[in-house]
A = this chain, B = another copy of it.
Amino acid sequence: MRLSRSHPRYASLRLRAHLADLTRAGLVAPEGLIAHGRGETFDYLLGERTSPSARAAERRAAGWLRSARHPVLSVNGNVAALAATEVARMAHACPGLSVEVNLFHRTPARARAVAGVLRAAGVSEVLGIRPTARIPGLPSDRALVDRRGILVADLCLVPLEDGDRTQALRALGKKVVSIDLNPLSRTSQTADLPIVDELRRALSHIGDDLEGGGPPERTGRFVRFDRRRALADALGLIGRNLRRAAAVRSRSAGERGRASPRPARGTGGRSRRTP
């Protein structure tokens, strides 16, 4: 389908078409498209921009990445499809940060495809293509990791991660930084530092902070982060946006007898400035 640049949801529709293409190409799992849709709705409800609270979490995450002795950035199909450039930029900006392929729906072909996209974007070393270890407490393929990467990491940055795996990493005593638009998800609820923001915005901001900071210190000590406050901030923002949207809709319905000022598209669609 041709997309018109004038469409108020052009960027969002283009991204959907991009992910759909990469699903046909085998990089993104079909289940990854469903997960993207879930995230779209939360981003819509959060206003499709980084909140001050999320920005503070991103700054703290950059600090943690510079303090960790062995930080690992975990990459799945959706992350590679959406943000390979941002991942490569972070790897350059943070010497010692490992990048590991970590797939929920793992096939050797998809692992190679993810690694290929990362290398093409400029990541020089990609771990996890052929897993060499397992983390306890997880079934089958979902436990597979690299013994040079996640297995020995003290800090894992897990964008768009599954709740079971986040909990398993925590149970191993690792510090977990998550990027997940759903503040109620098990991943957000379990992570030590939950970032409730859209993937590319979050990684870009962390990249800015890493480039702006000095060289990593690798002390293994992490400055405290108030995770409960961060999650409460996100829920509060969604609540305020919903009330505002309801008020706008009922006002325009009252004025015109019928609400229609470019609200959202289809299930979960949204206007440019939302909600």
A33 interface contact, C-beta 8 A: yes
Which A245-275 residues sit within 8 Å CB-CB of chain B? 245-246, 249-250, 253, 258-260, 262-270, 275
Are the CB atoms of A267 and B30 closer together than 8 Å? no
Are the CB atoms of A161 and B266 closer together than 8 Å? yes
**A184 with B37, Cβ < 8 A, contacts A20-B30, A30-B24, A235-B242 known:** no
The answer, among B30, B180, B228, B262, for a CB contact under 8 Å with A30, is B30
Are the CB atoms of A228 and B242 closer together than 8 Å? no
Are the CB atoms of B232 and A269 closer together than 8 Å? no
Are the CB atoms of A182 and B246 closer together than 8 Å? no
Are the CB atoms of A266 and B162 closer together than 8 Å? yes
Are the CB atoms of B250 and A228 closer together than 8 Å? yes
User: CA A33 – CA B29 in complex, angstroms?
Assistant: 11
**How far does the Cβ of A10 sit from chain B's closest Cβ, in whole Å?**
14
Are the CB atoms of B33 and A30 closer together than 8 Å? yes
Are the CB atoms of B29 and A184 closer together than 8 Å? no
Q: Which residue of B lies closest to A199 (CB)?
A: B267
A122 interface contact, C-beta 8 A: no
User: CA A180 – CA B180 in complex, angstroms?
Assistant: 24
A42 interface contact, C-beta 8 A: yes
* List of B residues within 8 angstroms of A30 by Cβ: 19-20, 23-24, 30, 33
Question: Binary interface profile of A, 146-162, with partner B (CB < 8 Å = 1, else 0)?
Answer: 00000000000000111
* List of B residues within 8 angstroms of A236 by Cβ: 246
The stretch that binds B, out of A48-56, A82-90, A185-193, A215-223, is A185-193
A130 interface contact, C-beta 8 A: no
What are 21 A-B pairs at a CB distance below 8 A? Answer: A1-B141, A19-B30, A24-B30, A33-B37, A34-B37, A34-B40, A35-B267, A35-B268, A37-B41, A38-B267, A39-B267, A41-B268, A163-B263, A163-B269, A167-B260, A186-B263, A186-B266, A189-B264, A231-B259, A236-B246, A238-B242
For the A-B complex with A23-B30, A41-B42, A184-B249 known, give 14 more contacts whose Cβ atoms are closer than 8 Å: A1-B105, A19-B34, A20-B34, A24-B30, A33-B34, A38-B38, A41-B268, A42-B268, A182-B267, A184-B264, A232-B250, A235-B246, A238-B242, A239-B242
